[in-house]
Amino acid sequence: MNKKIIILFFICLISLLLVLPINATDINNNNLTSHSDSYQITDEMSNDDIQMMFDTANDGDTFEFNSKEYNNISLVVDKKLNIVSSRNSVVHTSGAVNSKAEDLGIDKTFGFYFTSNSSGSILSGITIISTLSDYGVIVDGSDNSKIINNVITGGKKAGMLVKNSDNVTVSFNSISKSAGDGLQLKDVGFSSIKNNTISHNGRSGIETSNINNNSIFYNDIHHNVLNGITLQNKSSGNLIKHNNAYENLNGILINSTSSFDIINANSFTSNRRNPSITETGGVYETGNGILFGSAFKTLSEKVPGRLEVKYNVLAHNEMYQAKNNPELPVFKLGDNWFDSTDDSNTFVCPMLLAGIMKMGTISVKNGIGLQMYDTKGEAVKEFGTFDTTVNVDGNRYTAKFVNGRATVEANLDPDKEYDIEVMVGGQPVKYRYKSASGEKDDNSDSQTSDNQDGRKGMSGSSDYPLAESSQGGTAKGNGNLQNGTSNSAHFANSDKSGVYGTNASGTFQDSSDNGESALTNGDIDAGDASDGEVSEEGKAYELVPPSKISKEITDTSGLVVLSIVSVMGMLIYGYWRKEDYD
């Protein structure tokens, strides 16, 4: 009998040792989620009430604005919080500095201020109207924070300011109608500025000062009073790609000391000339796709780290597609598209060398394919976006270039050759074209042999042949520098005018902004922002709770315990039965 008791004791002990680790794991998992709480913010709460809730919250807590509208809001986020709205709540900011901000030495007015203690926070799904405050949102030293899917309107100095921060995400926001810049980036690194619409602001869409290793991608920047993008002071290692900057005074102003920056595959088009705009130091140069300011510096040619500018669409800007400052040495751009069949008709200023990209055809199933080529005749796969018109058999189609290629569904007979016209620079370029046979979407380049001009993909008879660019595909704008004055009268390079003249001849004067960066000065004082429409409100950042089904499936500790107990029970029962047989 004593032997039975000893055996049973060891069986129970083994069972207990198997069960305890599972229970401990379950307890630890429960502790991981128990510290994150969610709070509802209603319009009945005052700003002080909400601030107190923020101050007493734990890191990781979520605050959901669930009312339609809130007034006199000025909140300091001093912890890692998720601030969201699933119904696009409208927040009107306060024009006064709240007591929390005063305690922290903050003298600017704002809607939301994220401090260095708030790293990893989220602001999403809120419409912020900052008519009374200096800024809608300020992110100051808050690394790894995300400002996503918000509508920010107004701001006396800027719609949003991000400074002294790394790894910040600013995406899918609409930023408009600020009296100053739309978005200011100051001392910001390794951050992502993507898929924002920034428009109708009183100065630049995006203005930067001392930024490094940021990605500025896929932003739609238009109808800002000054530049689409302005680079000031220092910029290093930044990727500026796939942005669409139009109807600003300049697409981009590069007025920084630049190293390892890449400005590729953007569209700087239809930027307008306005001689009445003034800046500190005199007349502000306007109407250019790319403008180099007097403070621009970069490394010498062929030295690693030199600024790279290529595969951009530079077209229909009212002054120059690209313009250098006459006080600077000649700068060589990479290959870009100037919407021209004539290298002397590219509207590149005399102080720049530019590689002229060309357009050719590729065969696609039942349709028309167009492909962009660099000066070496290689197909370009990363490129800005633009539309052109294609005429075939009396039908007109719109071809949209994406990543260097455009395809038109035209239901063409693969056994028949067609004369097609592609509009380039306001002129029809004619090609002899035959669509591909084979399965649908089996696109292939039908121009596989070198043709007379030594490039691939450029064949097809044309009444408007694609001209060879000088210097092996590099053209220099023609012009005559004399005394720094300008008597050029050509300002009709807009797509609205329908007129495409030759390069502006004569002399010119560059009056780029020589003043210090407005970001460095800290204060930006401009007139009222232009009127404009705010883009459709974005979807709120979605905090998805754990699925009940997935929890039931993954939380198997109870089943394991039950199985172990059952096995032990059977062992004990079998042992007792064994005694009966004995």
Quote the percentage of the chain above a pLDDT of 90: 61
pLDDT of residue 415: 86
Least confident of 31-45, 311-325, 383-397, 400-414: 31-45
* Domain presence at residue 495: no
Place of tokens 């069972």: 15
Contact between 310 and 334 under an 8 Å Cβ cutoff? The reply is yes
pLDDT at 558 over 50: yes
Q: How far apart are CA 428 and CA 50, in angstroms?
A: 63
Residue 312: inside a domain, yes or no? no
425 located within any domain: yes
Q: What is the 3-state secondary structure (H, E, C) of 80-122?
A: CCEEECCCCCEEEECCCCCHHHHHCCCCCCCCEEECHHHCCCE
Decide if 503 is inside a domain. no
Q: How many domains does the chain fold into?
A: 2
Does residue 217 lie within any of the structural domains? no
Where among 467, 489, 524 does a domain terminate? 467
Instruction: Supply the pLDDT for residue 488.
Output: 30
Name the residue type at position 68. K
CA distance 509 to 483: 9
Contacts of 459 (CB under 8 A, 6+ apart): 360, 361, 447, 451
Q: Is 487 helix (H, G, I), strand (E, B) or coil?
A: coil
Domain assignment present for residue 570? The answer is yes
Six-digit token pair at 68?
Answer: 């339609």
509-553 pLDDT, tens digit per residue, is 333 333 334 443 333 333 333 333 333 333 333 343 433 333 333
- Give the residue from 257, 259, 155 showing the smallest Cα distance to 198: 155
pLDDT band at 365; cut points 50, 70, 90: confident
Average pLDDT, stretch 381-392? 94
Output the pLDDT for position 494.
Answer: 42
Out of 467, 494, 514, a domain closes at 467
**218-242 pLDDT per residue, tens:** 999 999 999 999 999 999 999 999 9
pLDDT averaged over every residue in the chain: 78
DSSP class per residue in 120-187: T-EEES-EEEESSSSEEEEEES-TT-EEES-EEEE-SSEEEEEEEEES-EEES-EEE--SSEEEEEEE
- In angstroms, the Cα distances linking 197 to 151, 194, 301, 348, 534 are 10, 9, 35, 28, 9
Q: Which residue has the higher pLDDT, 399 or 553?
A: 399
pLDDT > 70: percent of the chain: 68
pLDDT of residue 569: 65
Domain end call among 436, 467, 498: 467
Query: DSSP readout, 198-262?
Result: EES-SS-SEEEEEEES-EEES-EEES-SSEEEEEEEEEES-EEES-EEESSSEEEEEEEEEES-E
pLDDT digits (tens, 9 = 90+) for 113-149: 999 999 999 999 999 999 999 999 999 999 999 999 9
Lowest mean pLDDT among 196-205, 287-296, 403-412, 437-446: 437-446
The CA–CA distances, whole Å, from 377 to 343, 358, 386, 458 equal 16, 8, 20, 9
More confident residue, 438 or 29: 438
CA 134 → CA 130, 522, 524, distances in Å? 7, 11, 10
Lowest mean pLDDT among 339-353, 549-563, 567-581: 549-563
pLDDT of amino acid 413: 87
Least confident of 153-157, 219-223, 488-492, 545-549: 488-492
pLDDT band, very low/low/confident/very high, at 566 (cuts 50, 70, 90): low
Instruction: Report the distance separating Cα 285 and Cα 282, nearest Å.
Output: 9
Q: How far apart, in whole angstroms, are the C-alpha atoms of residue 34 and residue 36?
A: 6
Residue pair 298/306 in contact (Cβ under 8 Å)? The answer is: yes
Binning pLDDT at 50, 70 and 90, where does residue 29 land? very low
Confidence of residue 351 (pLDDT cuts 50, 70, 90): very high
Q: How confident is the model at residue 579 (pLDDT cuts 50, 70, 90)?
A: low
Query: pLDDT value at position 514?
Result: 34
Could you tell me which residue, 400 or 17, shows the higher pLDDT? Answer: 400
259 has a pLDDT exceeding 80: yes
Predicted confidence at residue 71, as pLDDT, reads 97
pLDDT at position 342: 75
Enclosing domain of residue 574: 2-33+557-581
Whats the size of the chain, residue-wise?
582
Return the CATH number at 366.
2.60.40
Helix (H) or strand (E) holding 434: strand 427-434
Query: Beta strand pairing status for 367-373 and 358-364?
Result: antiparallel
Q: Is residue 21 part of a domain?
A: yes
